[in-house]
Amino acid sequence: MGPLSGLRIIEMAGIGPGPMAAMMLSDMGALVLRIERQVDSGLGIRRPEKYDLLLRGRKALALDLKNDASIEVVLNLIEKSDGLIEGFRPGVMERLGLGPDICLKRNPRLVYGRMTGWGQNGPLSHAAGHDLNYIAVTGALNAIGRKGQFPAPPLNLLGDFAGGSAYLAFGMVCALLEAQRSGKGQTVDAAIVDGTAHLMTSVFGTYGAGLIDLERGSNITDSGAYFYDVYACADGQLISIAPIEGKFYKELLDRLGIDPAEMPSQFERSEWEAGRSKLAAAFKSRSRDEWCAILEGTDVCFAPVLTLEEAPRHAHMKARNVFVDIDGVTQPAPAPRFSHSIPDRPSPPRKAENTPLAEALDGWMSEREIRDLRAAGLTIQS
Question: Using the 8-state DSSP alphabet, how is residue 268 labeled?
Answer: -
State the catalytic residue, choosing from 27, 131, 160, 189: 160
**C-alpha span between 273 and 372 (Å, rounded):** 72
Q: Which residues of 124-155 are buried (b: 16+ CB within 10 A; e: fewer)?
A: beeeebebebbbbbbebbebbbeeeeebebbe
**C-alpha span between 3 and 367 (Å, rounded):** 28
**C-alpha span between 26 and 255 (Å, rounded):** 45
Chain centre distance of CA 306 = 20
**C-alpha span between 164 and 339 (Å, rounded):** 27
Q: Which residues pair with 83 in a beta bridge?
A: 9, 111
Where are the alpha helices (H) located in 142-262, listed in sequence order? 166-182, 192-199, 201-208, 246-256
**C-alpha span between 106 and 90 (Å, rounded):** 21
Where are the alpha helices (H) located in the chain, listed in sequence order? 17-27, 68-79, 92-96, 100-106, 131-137, 166-182, 192-199, 201-208, 246-256, 272-283, 288-295, 315-319, 357-360, 367-376
Instruction: Using DSSP, state whether 292 is helix, strand or coil.
Output: helix
Contact between residue 37 and residue 61 where contact means Cβ atoms under 8 Å apart:
no
**C-alpha span between 179 and 82 (Å, rounded):** 9
C-alpha separations of 365 from 8, 28, 299, 357 in Å: 13, 22, 56, 10
State the catalytic residue, choosing from 130, 254, 325, 344: 130
Residue 130 annotated to the active site: yes
Residue 316 annotated to the active site: no
Q: Are strands 229-232 and 238-241 parallel, antiparallel or unpaired?
A: antiparallel
**C-alpha span between 382 and 339 (Å, rounded):** 40
**C-alpha span between 162 and 228 (Å, rounded):** 23
**C-alpha span between 35 and 72 (Å, rounded):** 13
The residues annotated as belonging to the active site are: 130, 160
